[in-house]
Amino acid sequence: MEGKKLELFEVGPCENSYHIGFLIGQRFSNQISSRMSTDNILKSQLIPFVQTQEGQTLLQALKETNQKKYPDYWNELLGTAEGSGVPFLEILLANFRKEIIPFIPKIGTNFKEEINDDCSDILVVNDTMAVAAHNEDGNVALIGHSYLIRGHLSNGVSYTAYTYAGELPSCAFGFNSHGLAFTLNSVPPSVDEIEPGGVGRNFISRDLLEAESINDAMSRIQSSAVSVGHSYNLIDIRTRRILNVETASRNRSSVLEIGDVPLFHANMYLHLQVQQANDENSLRRQKKASSLPKKSKGDFLALLGDMNDREYPIYMTGPVLYTLCTAVLDMDEQTLSITEGNPKEHEASYVLSMV
């Protein structure tokens, strides 16, 4: 693993969640501190907003809801803050980013619209392959501010999760020793569709890392009164199934079983009826993907590495959005491959067994 940009850290088992978070924070203190200090949205918008009466009310509601429902993960964040030396408020705001930004007033010269993080997935389950391939896209400021956590819990469960510095594992993709894996796609709804003070998406995805089966994962998603919706690609290695689950506030969800016809998912709802703003980036990626071959894993990698649309490429290289890595979860090989660089041109940095 020496020389790789993406580091893998094994942690646990520990006596409690706080200790796990502390060790992660301590190990990646430089990355966490660097991310927080260079995050312009955090400094210029989130922190000033939560100092207002409206912002304090929203943050307090988020605190009460999520600490009550997920006390262990809350303590994990407390440990991460303590271990890294970063103020807990900054850690908290990074994890509640998507739940807070829609409520920041858009008037005034200090407001700058955040470019949504974008991800792309191509999924299929047929007689010859069962694969979920995923581009993890984010703001260029996130380059060098992510890592892999392999957590060993006191109950014997272990997980491996791609993690953004200072956030709960994983708001991107991961798998556990029960044979349950997932990748995620952001699906930003309109502001009217957001429930202030609801369950945060980072807490739900952390909870998925302990799911015992695809049905258990579904239960964990659907029992959560989310603030902002999300798209979950649930992967059950043992039963060779993939479900795409789109969620929204007020306990709405829609489930699509992946089969012979490959599904490309960008950052708009495809089957759950929710009010959403048209995202030109997603629409263009969706259109491009529909025209490309999808018959083999090689086709999938070529699709996720496609840069032919110069304005809105599937594989992004800046100046604002960047493909941080490409993950391929192969249920037949039972492996997770992670490539740093265009998957059409580079070999995998990691090939991890998922069993």
315-353 tens-digit pLDDT? 999 999 999 999 999 999 999 999 999 999 999 999 999
Backbone angles phi, psi at 206, to 5 degrees: -65, -40
- Containing structural domain, residue 13: 8-103
Q: pLDDT tens digit string along 150-174?
A: 999 999 999 999 999 999 999 999 9
Q: pLDDT tens digit string along 70-95?
A: 999 999 999 999 999 999 999 999 99
Q: Do 179 and 84 sit in the same domain of this protein?
A: no
Residue 287 lies in a domain: yes
Taking the C-alpha atoms of residue 189 and residue 198, their distance in angstroms, rounded to an integer, is 15
Q: Do 99 and 126 sit in the same domain of this protein?
A: no
Q: Which of 75, 103, 131 is the last residue before a domain boundary?
A: 103
Q: Do 96 and 125 sit in the same domain of this protein?
A: no
- Tokens representing residue 2 in the block: 């020496």
Residue 112 lies in a domain: no
Q: Are strands 180-185 and 241-248 parallel, antiparallel or unpaired?
A: unpaired
Taking the C-alpha atoms of residue 97 and residue 135, their distance in angstroms, rounded to an integer, is 21
Q: Are strands 173-176 and 252-257 parallel, antiparallel or unpaired?
A: unpaired
pLDDT at 4: 53
Q: Which of 58, 78, 103 is the last residue before a domain boundary?
A: 103
More confident residue, 115 or 283: 283
Whether the pLDDT of residue 134 is over 80: the answer is: yes
| 109 confidence band (pLDDT: 50, 70, 90) | very low
Residue 251 lies in a domain: yes
Q: Specify the number of domains making up the chain.
A: 2
Q: Do 144 and 194 sit in the same domain of this protein?
A: yes
Q: Do 85 and 126 sit in the same domain of this protein?
A: no
Residue 3 lies in a domain: no
Q: pLDDT tens digit string along 299-308?
A: 999 999 999 9
SS3 246: strand
Please state the rounded mean pLDDT for residues 236-244. 97
106-119 burial by CB neighbour count: b if 16+ within 10 A, else e? eeeeeeeebebbbb
Q: Do 95 and 215 sit in the same domain of this protein?
A: no
C-alpha closest to that of 193 among 111, 275, 135: 275
CATH number of the domain within which 348 lies = 3.60.60.10
Task: Find out whether 55 and 8 touch, Cβ atoms under 8 Å.
Answer: no
Q: Which of 51, 74, 103 is the last residue before a domain boundary?
A: 103
Residue 114 lies in a domain: no
Give percent of the chain with pLDDT exceeding 90: 90
Q: Do 144 and 292 sit in the same domain of this protein?
A: yes
Whether the pLDDT of residue 111 is over 50: the answer is: no
Q: pLDDT tens digit string along 250-265?
A: 999 999 999 999 999 9
Task: Find out whether 256 and 263 touch, Cβ atoms under 8 Å.
Answer: yes
Q: Do 142 and 264 sit in the same domain of this protein?
A: yes
Question: What does pTM read for this prediction?
Answer: 0.94
Check whether the bond before 319 is cis (ω within 30° of 0): yes
Q: Do 236 and 282 sit in the same domain of this protein?
A: yes
Q: Which residues neighbour 308 within 8 Å (Cβ) at sequence distance 6 or greater? A: 288
pLDDT at 107: 67
Q: Do 204 and 311 sit in the same domain of this protein?
A: yes
Taking the C-alpha atoms of residue 352 and residue 254, their distance in angstroms, rounded to an integer, is 31
Q: pLDDT tens digit string along 51-61?
A: 999 999 999 99
Taking the C-alpha atoms of residue 299 and residue 141, their distance in angstroms, rounded to an integer, is 30
Q: Do 158 and 278 sit in the same domain of this protein?
A: yes
Q: Do 27 and 146 sit in the same domain of this protein?
A: no
Taking the C-alpha atoms of residue 154 and residue 157, their distance in angstroms, rounded to an integer, is 7
